[in-house]
Structure 1
């Protein structure tokens, strides 16, 4: 992909063309050039970012991606593959010499930004070091960014990517924006109040997050934050309500405390004691892999569970299209971490697979109990076992919940519609409204 002309040559043209007719996608004057800062691209677990970028590209925005890490060794998801020629990754020599050149040219902005980061994070040395390294990796690309001339620098996750976007915005004198999700709000609140205050646009994925940030970060959050859901691609998550197995549970997610998979295993133990015959497929990898396998063995249900590990999106969709139920018993971890609104839940709902989850974080904004799915209290294996048993025994209820769930996704969690709404918000701030 060819690079645009240098910034100095593009600014007069930009000023002359920013008043053209609004784009059909957003109703605003066109947004032309955006840079996304992400932790890693491509990334197996963040296909929602790829879908969002792909929508902006389809609506005429030239999006480039700064990945703060080297590519993941996992298979490249179908959503990410078309975007690979838009990605720039860090290189050690480039990081060293590129960041040094920028510091010599813009010492006040760079050193002032680094001082602010250290002042915020010095009590957490690991966070401080990671933040500084991330910033240097971002500064590596400043010469290229000046040529590309982004109208907006956007980051996903309010931690290191947004720190980099904040610094690049200061160095390049360009507005920055970010989307915050879950752990970057509840656990790692790195300069979060300042980032919200300084941003041209702050976005989050649930109204629950807006209320939480208003109470825990800054009162300005309630006025500043926009809610844009992480939706699903309805074309690739086709409606498949029929030809499902009669007793297969599916669970998808990182093997992390917030997903509540230990509660699921305990619920399976109760169901076995009640005489239920079923099978559970658990797709995902993570730090609790060995611990969950051992717990399943201790509970006497290891033979009921297929620990399938991390899988591509196509494999996940195939499992969603055949499972009887989708179960994700999310919970608040001991350190306060929790889910936002899990994309896997949305994908299951879109596919026609009835869902069971919990009343944690933004999940009740996605699922109304007994309308779009069933919700049970967190960390309650007996309630979870009851809900699983009920849905397995009532095919009419499964059908009703599945149909309502699909309608809910189409109405409020369509990835293209949500990305188009974000496009509109971006255009507003770029063009000064």
Structure 2
């Protein structure tokens, strides 16, 4: 694996599962957004799984990306289009991919550690990346400290005594453990990890350039916008179920859906069954560069989050933060941790998304009284700007990673 590059900067090895497969990939890119903001302080190498059509190795925005193989290319489908937990739930045969997925990343990480003289590791997700980082020092060769970050599904959906024990083991051995919401900090502490060892640092939003309000763009009076993976915890089926009641109050309302995922066929069927084909538009996957225009034109962004049957739920949702950053009025499902973003505005924004009548009533009130909705949006933006700006978030992670580097 030598020859990736050389630099006098200390080497940071990032272990991840979800990562852009190519530039403008619609898959979540928050790990890359953080990694590229650390390249001024570190030589950043990201080790992530390969996917069909992706390059085995490339440099993206100054980040050196190594994609390891874990199965024949056409079977490398464990991560994308819904995430690992969702894919395992939908196709149990993909459990057969897990050993190669974990062992493949561990093997290549060990080789990178030795050949690139890695100084420190940042592992995204407690399982499996955090476990790999925790076990690497037991192998012969280079030994370093690590920071581990939980994003939600690894903490909420992976349940059981054994898995809880692994999460506790990983977090305790880390130089620092981070989570993306206060609710997740409480959940991890309940597993026996000292609260003082856990830091709340969400993924961020580019508030200075990409996701910004634009008063010159006129807002629609009737467009409801949804952006996110089409998976259970995003709650889109509840929004669609509430739409007939929304139309009773606001007949000109319509829903634009941006995203892709394993529930798309079922959601399209739901739209057809309800006779909403003329009122619901599926745009599919959209590049990040196109999202700001959608947030700026929508009358209302609705994020009907729920807790999935598996227990999985949002940590601190990036799309909601992006909409807020663009000044778009928002309605969100009331799930744990969302108060970290909304602060004192949570009572005005959140609703039980499973209750179609309540959700429809909230949406109608925002569409009808757009001036009040706009004032609430501004108040939410003021709250969020103190919490999710990428500059502040990246500085926080850089500080923890530097402290971990000093511990080796």
Structure 2 length normalisation: TM-score?
0.83
1:144 Cα deviation after fit: 3.6
Q: Residue 373 of structure 1 contacts residue 405 of structure 1 at CA under 8 Å; is this kept in 2? A: no
Structure 1 298/410 Cα, relative in aligned 2: closer, same or farther at 3 Å?
Answer: same
Q: Residue 66 of structure 1 contacts residue 138 of structure 1 at CA under 8 Å; is this kept in 2? A: no
Q: Residue 226 of structure 2 contacts residue 256 of structure 2 at CA under 8 Å; is this kept in 1? A: yes
Q: Residue 50 of structure 2 contacts residue 70 of structure 2 at CA under 8 Å; is this kept in 1? A: no
1:47 aligns with 2:29: yes
Aligned-partner Cα distance in 2 for 1:260–1:342: 13
Show the 5 A alignment for 1:283-322.
283-322=258-297
Structure 1 229/92 Cα, relative in aligned 2: closer, same or farther at 3 Å?
Answer: closer
Aligned-partner Cα distance in 1 for 2:50–2:382: 38
1:336 Cα deviation after fit: 1.2
Q: Residue 295 of structure 2 contacts residue 328 of structure 2 at CA under 8 Å; is this kept in 1? A: yes
Aligned-partner Cα distance in 2 for 1:72–1:269: 40
Match of 1:230 among 199, 203, 216: 203
1:166 Cα deviation after fit: 2.4
Deviations 1:350-373 (A, max 9, x none): 001011002202112212465695
Deviations 1:37-64 (A, max 9, x none): 1114324333211111111113x21111
Match of 2:133 among 165, 183, 193: 165
Match of 1:185 in 2: 155
1:82 Cα deviation after fit: 1.6
Show the 5 A alignment for 1:14-413.
32-43=10-21, 44-58=26-40, 60-70=41-51, 81-83=60-62, 86-91=64-69, 130-131=98-99, 133-171=101-139, 172-189=142-159, 190=163, 191-215=166-190, 218-234=191-207, 235-241=209-215, 242-274=217-249, 276-368=251-343, 370=345, 374-413=349-388
Aligned-partner Cα distance in 2 for 1:68–1:164: 14
* SS at 1:220 equivalent: coil
Aligned-partner Cα distance in 2 for 1:275–1:324: 12
Structure 1 length normalisation: TM-score?
0.79
Aligned-partner Cα distance in 2 for 1:426–1:199: 11
Aligned-partner Cα distance in 1 for 2:16–2:36: 15
Q: Residue 131 of structure 1 contacts residue 160 of structure 1 at CA under 8 Å; is this kept in 2? A: no
Aligned length: 370
* SS at 1:331 equivalent: coil
Structure 1 187/371 Cα, relative in aligned 2: closer, same or farther at 3 Å?
Answer: closer
Larger Rg over CA atoms: 1
Q: Residue 139 of structure 1 contacts residue 168 of structure 1 at CA under 8 Å; is this kept in 2? A: no
Q: Residue 70 of structure 2 contacts residue 100 of structure 2 at CA under 8 Å; is this kept in 1? A: no
Structure 1 35/370 Cα, relative in aligned 2: closer, same or farther at 3 Å?
Answer: closer
Deviations 1:374-421 (A, max 9, x none): 111131111111111111111221221121122122211111211110
Structure 1 301/408 Cα, relative in aligned 2: closer, same or farther at 3 Å?
Answer: same
Q: Residue 341 of structure 1 contacts residue 361 of structure 1 at CA under 8 Å; is this kept in 2? A: no
Aligned-partner Cα distance in 1 for 2:262–2:298: 25
RMSD (CA atoms) = 2.7
